Homo-oligomer: A and B are copies of this chain.
């Protein structure tokens, strides 16, 4: 019989959080400001979310930027290069960097939530890489004894570190990273 939760309010808060993070950075977002921006009362926020980090978490999961597709051609090296280059150049848009930094800030603040978020966000990417590399193993292009999950992590770690430093990887570095990893995992 009660009135159901207002989807409109929820959306407003998500939108306000995304806007605030992109324009001012996660640290300077306040619940007070969020409520005002979203035209929502503080109580409504506290009723549905347990912390600022939780709001950002939901916003990230919901509005997750479409990460670039890892192509599947015959040339593994070129596939990885193209994909990792696309990921890195995405980071040149200011908005994406701020989102990534916000994710890092949340993780540095709240380890448990951070882990969960990273898992949810990174898993699809890791999944892609792992799957592509397994295919390559089957094709005999990657050694059987390579732990493909670790390789996926190396890509993610480089991206994360670059975002943290606000220093997106340029083409040359992208190439260097792919080159080293490809040689590191390639058969022969």
A residues engaging B (CB < 8 A)?
25-27, 101-102, 104-105, 107-109, 111, 114-115, 118, 146-147, 150-151, 153-154, 156-158, 160-162, 164-167, 172-173, 176-177, 179-185
- Shortest A30–chain B CB gap in Å is 14
* Contact of A180 with B151 in the complex, beta carbons under 8 Å: yes
CA distance A109 to B164 in the complex (A): 10
What are the residues of chain B within 8 A of A164 when measuring CB–CB?
Answer: 104, 107-108, 114, 160
Residue of B nearest to A172 (CB): B147
CB distance from A100 to the nearest CB of B (A): 9
Known: A109-B27, A181-B180, A185-B180. A158 touches B166 (CB 8 A): no
Q: CB distance A167 to B108 under 8 Å?
A: no
Contacts of A165 in B (CB 8 A): 107, 111, 114-115, 118
CB distance from A168 to the nearest CB of B (A): 13
* A105, A172, A176 interface centre (most CB from chain B within 10 Å): A176
In the complex, the answer to whether A150 meets B166 with C-beta atoms within 8 Å is no
- Complex: A184 Cα to B26 Cα, angstroms: 38
Q: Is the CB of A176 within 8 A of B156?
A: no
Q: Which residues of B contact A179 (CB under 8 A)?
A: 184
Which residue from chain B places its CB closest to the CB of A184 in the assembled complex? B184
